[in-house]
Amino acid sequence: MRRKVTLKQIAKELDISISTVSKSLRDSHEISEETRQKVQAFAKLYNYKPNNIALSLKNKKTKTIGIIIPEIVHHFFATVISGIEQVANEKGYNVIVCLSDESFDKEVINLEMLASGSTDGFIMSLSKETQQKKDFHHIEEVINQGMPVVLFDRITNDVFCDKVIIDDQQAAYDAVSFFIEKKYKNIALITTVDYVSVGKLRTEGYLKALKEHKIAAQNHLILKIEDIEHCQDSITELLQNNEIDAVFAVNELFAVTAIKTALKLGKKVPVDIAVIGFTDGIISQFSTPTITTVSQNGIKMGQKAAKILIDRLEKEEEDEQYTTEIIETNLVFRESTTT
């Protein structure tokens, strides 16, 4: 075993001081050409790499970004991480990932853990429980301690910080307006309970589109799903008991379940029922029929969030001006709608 070599060892070996070694490796002009060469050659030979931890302690920055998300087994979140990773890597940052598992407590614990010196800042998306409790003191605490936070997708307006979102309401509005223009009469909505911020906004977009086209919203066409694991039954009920010719679903899972249920009930998609989903993930691409969907560019969200965070980290002055970046969405047309 060949342990990692330190400045101290190099200094001893070469019989010079640690300071001289350090300066030589940083190519300081204080040091003679000769010494520099010698030290550099030696360091190379022994494959010297400065210890990140020591540097972090000294510089008071870790060059790492903390990511806290509800789940990773979610194509959208994986996609965002991928985007963050990309720009973080380019700028010499590492990425620590923690999962809240949709739990408030885990979110708090992870945040505090990472805030104790491990990261320079955070990129996060709130857990469901956090959104439900509306308790954001942990995030405010961290910001107060001088660590910037960028919130994305599942955000809150109660915390002042940078945010990266899509215009959920507008995107839903566009999707539903498409249906209306195509003369669909009974447009159902399959959404989440209201405390999920993005679900609520998408619901609002649906309602707004109906209202602006002077169509009365009908409560029995709106399904708010609490328990995602068992959405099957309520969706069956929805489709069975109503004359529905179009469905707007606020996520992929609801969309694919609606399609499968419709098929099972003997209806044809998109002929009898057209479906538009949300999030252009794996399911939308590989379902049969493939699903028309609002594409929510996760990679871009991640990239943008990372850019904003790193800019703030590397800016000298404290800038109290927070931005909310809105990533554009668009409808990706596939087989679950007719054109």
Partner DNA sequence: CTGAAAGCGCTTACAG
Specify the DSSP class assigned to residue 221.
Answer: G
Specify the DSSP class assigned to residue 66.
Answer: E
- What are the two backbone dihedrals, phi and then psi, of residue 150, each rounded to the nearest 5 degrees? -115, 120
Does 64 bind a copy of itself (CB under 8 A)? Our answer is yes
**Largest separation between any pair of C-alpha atoms in the chain:** 87
Specify the DSSP class assigned to residue 251.
Answer: S
Q: Which does 214 bind (CB under 5 to 8 A by kind): a copy of itself, DNA, none?
A: none
Q: Kindly write down the DSSP assignment for every residue of 121-146, as one continuous string.
A: EEEE---HHHHHHT--HHHHHHHHTT
Does 332 bind a copy of itself (CB under 8 A)? Our answer is no
Which position has the token pair 């904003």?
308
Does 32 bind DNA (CB under 7 A)? Our answer is yes
Residue from 2, 29, 183, 214 touching DNA (CB under 7 A): that is 29
Amino acid at 8: K
Contact call for residues 166 and 186 (beta carbons, < 8 A) = no
Does 41 bind DNA (CB under 7 A)? Our answer is no
Does 45 bind DNA (CB under 7 A)? Our answer is no
Shortest spacing between CB 282 and a copy of itself, in angstroms = 5
Cα 227 versus chain centre, distance: 22
Cα 73 versus chain centre, distance: 12
Angle at 13 between CA 9 and CA 14, to 5 degrees: 120
* Residue range at the interface with a copy of itself (CB under 8 A); choices 81-89, 126-134, 191-199, 231-239: 81-89
Contact call for residues 304 and 327 (beta carbons, < 8 A) = yes
Amino acid at 3: R
Q: Which does 96 bind (CB under 5 to 8 A by kind): a copy of itself, DNA, none?
A: a copy of itself
Q: Which does 20 bind (CB under 5 to 8 A by kind): DNA, a copy of itself, none?
A: DNA
Residue from 54, 237, 268, 330 touching a copy of itself (CB under 8 A): that is 54
Exposure letters 201-240 (e unless 16+ CB within 10 A, then b): bbbbbbbbbbeeeeeeeeeebbbbbeeeeebeebbbebbe
Does 16 bind DNA (CB under 7 A)? Our answer is yes
Shortest spacing between CB 95 and DNA, in angstroms = 23
Shortest spacing between CB 149 and DNA, in angstroms = 20
Residue from 2, 27, 60, 92 touching DNA (CB under 7 A): that is 60
Residue from 98, 151, 164, 201 touching a copy of itself (CB under 8 A): that is 98
Q: Kindly write down the DSSP assignment for every residue of 1-14, as one continuous string.
A: --PPP-HHHHHHHH
Q: What's the CA gap between 170 and 151, in Å, rounded?
A: 20
Contact call for residues 153 and 80 (beta carbons, < 8 A) = yes
Cβ proximity to DNA, 8 vs 185, nearer residue:
8
Does 271 bind a copy of itself (CB under 8 A)? Our answer is no
Which position has the token pair 């060469």?
37
Amino acid at 162: D
Q: Which does 242 bind (CB under 5 to 8 A by kind): a copy of itself, DNA, none?
A: none
Cβ proximity to DNA, 60 vs 183, nearer residue:
60
Does 31 bind DNA (CB under 7 A)? Our answer is yes
Copy the structure tokens of residue 318. 């404290």
Does 41 bind a copy of itself (CB under 8 A)? Our answer is no
Does 183 bind DNA (CB under 7 A)? Our answer is no
Q: Which does 16 bind (CB under 5 to 8 A by kind): a copy of itself, DNA, none?
A: DNA
Which residues of this chain interact with DNA, rule CB under 7 A?
6-8, 16-20, 22-23, 25-26, 29-35, 50-51, 54-55, 57-58, 60
Which residues of this chain interact with a copy of itself, rule CB under 8 A?
1-4, 47, 49-54, 56-57, 62, 64, 71-75, 78-79, 81-82, 85, 89, 94-99, 106, 110, 112-118, 141, 144-146, 256, 259-260, 263, 281-283, 286-288, 318
